[in-house]
Amino acid sequence: MPETSKTADQALTLLLAISEHGPITASRVCRLVGVNRTVGNRLLSTLHGRGFLRRDGDGYVLGTVLLRMAENVSPALRDAAVPVMQRLSDVTRETVVLQVPDGGDVVVVAQTLCDAHLVRVEHRLGARHPVHLGASGRAVLAFLPERAVDRALRDVEGADRVRAALEGVRRRRYEVSRDELRAGVHGFAAPVLDRAERPVAALVIVVPETRARTMPDPEHLLGTAVDEISGVLFGAPSPRA
């Protein structure tokens, strides 16, 4: 394995912790990740000076540099997806999120928000969760190679139940989660597939539980949306059973 930099690893560990727990004070985030306070303060000051962090009261939150960097993640996918996501958000009057696989996780790379409701669900760009969790994760996991599925489920309690759920996702090309990643939030997801039926992303409508039952046919809406994105990216929609 190539040699790694301890300093860079510590800085990135602090950055990831702040993305999950911010706003958070310097002393608390250093305790959380086990970094020496003096070293941690120096790293935080550097990250702040470079725009990766900004101050929010007494704590740190992610800086605007990361937003600019996020815009360069999967630019072709984002360019194809965002107009479709905006239309889907307008029709459903809900938040629509695009997530891509990254190792054993799925990561948020884009979202469109609707201001039709006072209460809405919102994600952070760069937020991630394991690929076996949530509608978006399983929408991706169901279409990964069997070796990748085995790896993702190796240490997961209830792996057999997840495998059974993946069979249903493959048939429907659609998945639903209820109160799984966040209490009071439902997710409706479909995979964006390439011509070889490999997942490049998941498109997700995230809805407060109180409005989930009145969603206007999310399975059809998502199926149409992911086919449109696939058509822009690959020239033809992935075949739908």
Whole-number Cα distances in Å, 77 to 25, 45, 123, 197, 223? 36, 34, 18, 16, 17
Q: Domain 6-68: which topology?
A: Arc Repressor Mutant, subunit A (1.10.10)
Percent of the chain scoring above 70 in pLDDT: 93
**What is the model's pLDDT at position 2?**
67
**What is the model's pLDDT at position 70?**
64
pLDDT digit string (tens) for 5-22? 889 999 999 988 888 788
Around Cβ 231, how many Cβ atoms within 10 Å?
14
Select the more confidently predicted residue: 231 or 70: 231
Averaged pLDDT, 83-102: 94
pTM: 0.71
Pick the CATH number of 73-234 from 3.30.450.40, 1.10.10.10, 3.40.50.150, 3.40.50.1820: 3.30.450.40
**What is the model's pLDDT at position 92?**
93
Q: Sketch the domain layout of the chain as residue ranges.
A: 6-68, 73-234
Q: What value does the mean pLDDT of the chain take?
A: 88
**What is the model's pLDDT at position 4?**
80
Weakest-pLDDT range from 106-120, 144-158, 176-190, 196-210: 106-120
pLDDT digit string (tens) for 131-177? 999 999 999 999 999 999 999 999 899 999 999 999 999 999 999 99
**What is the model's pLDDT at position 196?**
86
Averaged pLDDT, 75-103: 92
Q: Return the ∠ at Cα 73 (arms to 72 and 74), rounded to 5°.
A: 110
CA distance 64 to 21: 17
